[in-house]
Each structure stands twice: as C-alpha cells, then as structure tokens.
Amino acid sequence: MLCLPWTSAEYEQIIGRIRRQGSNFGEVEIVVPQVVLDYKGDTWSWDQGRMALIRYKRTLSDCAVDGYIPETVRINPDELLKRSREALQRWIERIGQEGLLAVEREQLTVPLPPGIREKVQVRHGDFTTLNNRWSVSRSTTTHERLRQDPSEWYLYHTLYQEAREYWPEQPFERIAERIRVRPDWVVGDFGCGECLLRKALPDNRVIGLDHVGWDESVIECDMSDTPLDDASLDVAVFSLSLMGTNWTDYLQEAYRTLKPYGHLFIAEPQRRWQGHTDELLDAIKAAGFSVVSGVEQRYDFLYLTAVKL
C-alpha cells in the first residue's frame, strides 16, 4: 500500500508515473487522503473536485489514438446531430442575409508595388541576401519555401529587373541569337523567371520551368525533377539559373529531357566561377555532355555550349 499526501497538479503526474511503472512493483494500491467539509447537511471538498478532474481527464492523444472522449464532454449522438443541423441552418440564414464574405489578396506582380515591396523586403532581405539564400539551399528546400510564400520569388525578380538595367549585355538575348536560326527547336527554359527568352523567340516553342509561374504557361516545379518527358527537348537553357547546392542535378535533368545531340546553353556570372571554371566544365561532362568550343567570356558573364552525346 502506498499512502501519499494530497498535492495539487503534481499528484496527477505521480499517479501516471506509478501506473506506468506498476509492473515493476507488482500490484500497487493508491490511497488518496481527502478532506470533506460537512456543514448542516451540505458537503464541500476541494480534494474531491481535484480527484474528479484526474479521474475524467484525458489528453488529446487519447482522443486521437484511442478515440476516447472524456465523459465530462461527451454528447449524445442525437443531440450532436441536432446541434450540427441548427448550426448549419444559422449559417445558411446568415449567408442569405449578408452574402458571402470574400477577402481578396492583392495580386503579386513584377515589379512589386512599392507598399508591398517594402513589407516583403523586410521579411526576405535584399538582392544579395536572396541570391545567397537560393545558392546555399537545395532546390527542393527553395521550391517548398517559395511554394508556401511566393512573395520571395516576386521580390527577387523585382530586384533582378532593376539590376539588369545596368548590364552591358543581357545573357538571354545572347543565347536567343544562337537558337533563333532554328525555329523548329523545342526549348526548355530552366529557371525562366519573367519568360524573357520566350519573348525573344516568338517562332520557337519555349517551355518555361520555374519554382513560381510568371504566367499559366510556366510549369511550376523543382528544376532537378521536372515533369518533362525523356528526350522531349531540342535545347535546354540555364540563363543565370544554376542556383542551389545541387545544381549538378539540373544538368542531369537537362540531359534526361534532351533529345540525342540536343544542345545545352549556359550563361553564368563570371565572378562565381573565377579561378575554377574547370569545376563547371567537369560537371557538364560528367552529366554526359560534350562541351563545344570551351568557355566564352563576355563582359561580366561566361557562356558555354554543350551537346548531348
């Protein structure tokens, strides 16, 4: 027999601990001293009230796992159905009188409106911060984050749009010149952003892929795992979009989706690969491509062309 003095909330924990460890002690009998006041036929006991809570209390896990509903909150099924119907009827009447309440979010665009931009930038940071975050994260992580909150994507492209104004050359235009001579080519634009390449190639079929769709034609996906069929592209383009710690997976996905002897066009910031362009070349070759005519450097960018063998 174990006789314990009454404690407050701690006693519930003691009982649970004894029950869990009861098998180690054999049969355990718990005696709970209780004080009851009796005055002119009326009784009152704080202890009994506490004991009732312990006896009937069940956790959320009890309800979720065992389907146990505490007796103190159980409702007769017929009564529950009656209350549900009454609540539904009140809701129908309110809708009939007041109409539906619709709250529309302001649509995100590039560039972001000034008011929204200020709020979003406080949350996500400046252009350098965004570049670093996307570069040091796996594409799966970035994709899920942008899917949950696309405002980061719109902020990035708002700032990217402003940065391009000072560039002596637009990489997508340089790549478009190489593709324009073959209007029959089907082009996969990996990390299409604002679909600038598609606008520069009106005669080609350009399939845009990105974490967030600029418009309804863009396939929203992780570029390391696209829904494109095998050997469905003539050209794969990465214009400043090899971002993420698993960027080599993008090259493998490009190889999978390209037809035999399909072309791979890459444009990258020169400063990113300064002193170690061999790493980029080796990754392209490891993915199964043959690099054509080495690395071309123009202004602040470097360009590579490769063919799927």
Q: Which of 213, 212, 224 is nearest to 139 (CA)?
A: 224
The reported pLDDT for the residue numbered 46 is: 65
Alpha carbon dihedral 114, 120, 121, 126, in 10-degree steps, equals -110
Q: Distance from CA of residue 203 to its chain's centroid?
A: 35
The reported pLDDT for the residue numbered 1 is: 42
Contacts of 54 (CB under 8 A, 6+ apart): 11, 12, 15
The reported pLDDT for the residue numbered 111 is: 94
Residue 89 structure tokens? 């009827």
Domains of the chain plus CATH, in order, are 2-73 (no CATH), 114-162 (no CATH), 169-308 (3.40.50.150)
pLDDT values of the chain reduced to their tens digit, one per residue, 309 residues: 444 444 445 555 665 665 555 555 555 566 777 777 766 666 666 667 666 655 555 555 555 555 555 555 566 778 878 888 888 888 788 777 777 655 455 578 999 999 899 999 999 999 999 999 999 999 999 999 999 999 999 999 999 999 999 999 999 999 999 999 999 999 999 999 999 999 999 999 999 999 999 999 999 999 999 999 999 999 999 999 999 999 999 999 999 999 999 999 999 999 999 999 999 999 999 999 999 988 999 999 999 999 999
pTM greater than 0.95 (yes/no): no
Amino acid at 290: S
The reported pLDDT for the residue numbered 19 is: 57
The reported pLDDT for the residue numbered 53 is: 56
CB contact at 8 A, 236 and 186: no
